Structure 1
Amino acid sequence: MRTYSLEILEKYRRIPTTTISDALDRLNIIGVITGLKPIIDDVKIVGPAFTIKEIHRKTNTSEFRVTEALNQAEPGSIMVFDVGGYTEASTWGGLASLSAKIKGIEGVVVNGAVRDINEIRKIKFPVFARAITPITGKSRIATVSINTQIEINNVRISPGDLIVGDGNGIVVIPYEKVLEVLKIAMEIEEKEEKVRILVMSGKPIIEAERELGTKI
């Protein structure tokens, strides 16, 4: 698994996904997965992607390989499930969340549905999903591949790409662009903090923008 230094992870942990999205825009990188919401409040996840591709089809339970994927995922990683946006059955639930938390998985992102949200909230495990349903994915969802490149909403995600998630959503930073995106994001944060200070001092925001030569 591709890894990142603690310094890089902590710097990204302090930057909101909104700022990272702006940095990605400057580099013309498509990296925001829209429509995924956190199950718990005040959540922040940062870590390398461990990807799982799934499809909806009538199948037997042996093809529903969530526990196999969980067994392969390494502590600190973020499990990213692409179920093609299928939300009529869940691919993740409470027991999987408990096991993932004990193992040290950073969080889970599901382009599909999850269930057992009360259990997930009780243990405060970070899960992002497109929908919630009580219906199991067993016999309805099949795992196609584990830890290969996937694509969600035109965002390509390779194993080891950096995933950052918070209350605003999920962003994906390609492995080879992590340092460049971080540099730009930190510059944006610095400028916005200067604007914030001027606004708090009573200056109209449009004047603060002009003074600092920036646009919020």
Structure 2
Amino acid sequence: MIESVPTGRGIQGYSYTSVTLKKIATVIPAKLQRQNYFFWKLLFEQIFSRYKLMGIINGSEPCPAQFLTDKEGNDLTDQINPAFEIWHDKDQAMLTWMRSTCSEHVLPFTAGLASSRELWLNLEKRFQVVGVSSEYRRNLAAAALATTDICDAHPDLLASGDLRLVPQVFQKYGKWQAFAGPVVTLKVFEDNTLVIELLSTKGEGRVLVVDGGGSMRRAVTGGMLARSAEIMGWAGIVINGCVRDVDEINECEIGLRALATCPVRPIKNDSGSGQKHVPVSIGGVLIQEGEWLYADGDGILVSSSELSI
């Protein structure tokens, strides 16, 4: 996965004690900031679930008593409870993992927090963003106009160039065949830092159009980002580039178009190389921020404004 925990012999089946800070950095290479909190949270939830540590974070596995007790229930202060030591080691490892991924702007918020759950709840309180419901996502998909109906109803716009057909070079992914919404543009090349930033924010029914330079060498979106887009209410994603984790993407309630799949992960740059909200060219078709995109099984259309039929 681009954004998820490595599977197979790299991590799966090993104890949490095998996880080093270097390994955490490969799974979560972008430092935590306010704008990418939601995605950061999804990644750590996957890590904690993989190692059966979620109980410590969600409070269902509280800290055991520090000392063993005698038959009367009195603490034996000279005998440490082995269960406490195991729990404490896990908790402190989790705390270290999370702190190691915090940016310099977030680190001050971690001061004085002694447990992983304290840190988790503190960050959640400061940065939490509420996702949308499944009903909201279904309504987004249902509201998409058919591209054939649009073309039949607006031949004048096709002739004037206010309605443009995007070349039929894209593969279809995600649960939703049809999607539509106002466009948010992004220009990157083999670096998905800005993709993470945008898909961690509220989508409000918009469509992210990513000009990835047509690169077939690296994917710029994967299963975790599609999941983030789904939860945050994005209607769809169109990528002039590659994706990976297609089985996971196809389980997400979102529409996604990309040139192809590629198993190679993107590069990461903390400064986020690329440009947001700029005109992009996809297959020779110019697409501007704020225009409307309509996609279904018959193709992709871009309109200068929202259309009706």
> Which category describes the TM-score, using the shorter chain as reference length?
0.5 to 0.7
Which is bigger in relative contact order (C-alpha 8 A, separation at least 6)?
1
Change in Cα spacing, 1:85 to 1:102, as seen in structure 2 (3 Å) is: same
Change in Cα spacing, 1:50 to 1:73, as seen in structure 2 (3 Å) is: farther
Partner of 1:212: none
Partner of 1:214: none
Structure 2 contact 200–229 (Cα < 8 Å) conserved: no
Structure 1 contact 54–143 (Cα < 8 Å) conserved: yes
Q: Does 1:155 align with 2:290?
A: no
Instruction: Kindly report which structure 2 residues correspond to 1:53-202, keeping only aligned pairs within 5 A, or say none.
Output: 53-56=187-190, 64-72=193-201, 74-138=203-267, 143-175=273-305, 178-179=306-307, 182=308, 186=309
- Measured in 2, the distance between the counterparts of 1:40 and 1:133 equals 16
Which consecutive residues of structure 1, in runs of 5 or more, have no partner in the other structure? 1-8, 187-216
Report the number of matched residues. Answer: 164
Structure 1 contact 47–76 (Cα < 8 Å) conserved: yes
Instruction: Kindly report which structure 2 residues correspond to 1:27-38, keeping only aligned pairs within 5 A, or say none.
Output: 27-29=160-162, 31-34=164-167, 35-38=169-172
- Measured in 2, the distance between the counterparts of 1:114 and 1:104 equals 20
CA-atom RMSD in angstroms: 2.7
Greater Cα shift, 102-111 or 20-29: 20-29
Structure 2 contact 176–254 (Cα < 8 Å) conserved: no
SS of structure 1 residue aligned to 2:278: coil
* Structure whose alpha-carbon radius of gyration is higher: 2
Structure 2 contact 141–235 (Cα < 8 Å) conserved: no
- Measured in 2, the distance between the counterparts of 1:97 and 1:12 equals 20
Change in Cα spacing, 1:42 to 1:148, as seen in structure 2 (3 Å) is: closer
1:168-201 CA distance string (max 9 Å, x none) = 22111013xx45xx4xxx4xxxxxxxxxxxxxxx
1:62-108 CA distance string (max 9 Å, x none) = x7322112235632111110012112210111000111111111111
Partner of 1:202: none
- Measured in 2, the distance between the counterparts of 1:41 and 1:169 equals 16
* Cα offset, 1:143, TM superposition: 3.7
Structure 1 segments of 4 or more deviating over 6 A? 9-12
Q: Does 1:43 align with 2:177?
A: yes
Choose between structure 1 and 2: higher strand proportion.
1
Structure 1 contact 33–153 (Cα < 8 Å) conserved: yes
- Measured in 2, the distance between the counterparts of 1:10 and 1:83 equals 25
SS of structure 2 residue aligned to 1:47: strand
> Structure 2-normalised TM-score?
0.47
- Measured in 2, the distance between the counterparts of 1:87 and 1:21 equals 31
Structure 2 contact 227–252 (Cα < 8 Å) conserved: yes
